[in-house]
Amino acid sequence: MIRPKNPIQAWHALVEGNHRFVSGAPAHPRQDIDQLAGQAEKQKPFAALFGCSDSRLSAEIIFDVGLGDLFVVRNAGQVIAETILGSLEYAVEVLEVPLILVLGHDECGAIRATMDANEGKLQANGEYIHNLVDRITPTLLEAKAQGFHEIDEITDLHVRETIAEMISRSDLIQNRIESGKLAVVGANYVLELGEVHQIQAVGNID
């Protein structure tokens, strides 16, 4: 595969890779030991992926890409933090990726924990688990205000609000989008099917 050089090519490469994965005919590109020598001195990913830490979201597998293709940043519930923004800015400015994908998934444990906390049913005691829940709670309250009560509806809204926060807080990312050099896509991964469904796009990917 020729490395995608713009947002359109990058998004199409991810979509095509996911189609191969879902169809059961992955190409497994650039995943063997022979690739290591060429990757050791310099990385050149064609997209950054900010997603949930869920163990079932192995980015290179579900998009059928290889070593060095994706710059992956993850935490539970894909919650924006300064370290996340710094990592994504690094991908955009230093590695010059033309695409950031924000990837949520159905039945997200972090979203479910936030829903449980809102109902007084959260069993976890960890201080930073509660901090994570606190960061997602505004999305939950906004979802309820809009009449959304199902977990996957809340997750979709969380992806949208994550993108909005990313762009509003990072002048670098916002400027790259406005210049046409970068696009940000929000999507949802359906665990049972393996499919990635687009939720939102900021910038040109068509």
82-133 tens-digit pLDDT: 999 999 999 999 999 999 999 999 999 999 999 999 999 999 999 999 999 9
Which pLDDT does position 35 carry in this prediction?
67
The mean pLDDT of 141-152, rounded to a whole number, is: 95
Distant-in-sequence contacts of 53-61, Cβ < 8 A, 24+ apart: 54/105, 54/108, 54/109, 56/105, 56/191, 57/103, 57/105, 57/189, 59/103, 60/31, 61/21, 61/26
Cα radius of gyration (the chain): 17
Domains and CATH numbers, the chain: 7-108+160-202 (3.40.1050.10)
Taking the model in full, what pTM does it have? 0.94
User: Rounded to whole angstroms, how far apart are CA atoms 177 and 119?
Assistant: 39
Average pLDDT of the residues of the chain? 94
In percent, how much of the chain has pLDDT > 70? 96
7-47 tens-digit pLDDT: 999 999 999 999 999 999 998 887 777 666 666 678 999 99
Per-residue DSSP letter, 33: T
Which pLDDT does position 115 carry in this prediction?
96
Which pLDDT does position 2 carry in this prediction?
79
Which pLDDT does position 1 carry in this prediction?
63
Report the first-to-last Cα separation within the chain, whole angstroms.
Answer: 20
